[in-house]
Amino acid sequence: MPFEPHAHHHAHPGGHPHRHGHDPALPHPSQPVSWSILRMSVAGRLAAAAAVACLLWAGVVMAMR
């Protein structure tokens, strides 16, 4: 890879360093996500929402005691 004036180092999940560069005015290139709520099924989203709601209500009930 040729030298780029604004290049910098990054460590990747595999542990190996990788050098790349991008224009400082541009945001860092996006990285692929391992988890996204948008990739969940509707049933999975409803189950997650119900679990969060139960935890929040449990906190409310505990605070009222």
Q: What distance lies between CA 58 and its chain's CA centroid?
A: 27
Do 20 and 3 touch, CB atoms closer than 8 A?
A: no
pLDDT at 55: 98
Q: How far apart are the first and last CA of the chain?
A: 63
| CA–CA separation, 25 and 27 (whole Å) | 7
For residue 37, what pLDDT is reported? 83
Cα separation, 45 vs 51, whole angstroms: 10
Give the pLDDT score at 28. 77
Mean pLDDT in runs of 10 for the chain (65 residues)? 52 60 72 83 95 98 95
pLDDT score of 10: 55
Tell me, what's the pLDDT at 31? 78
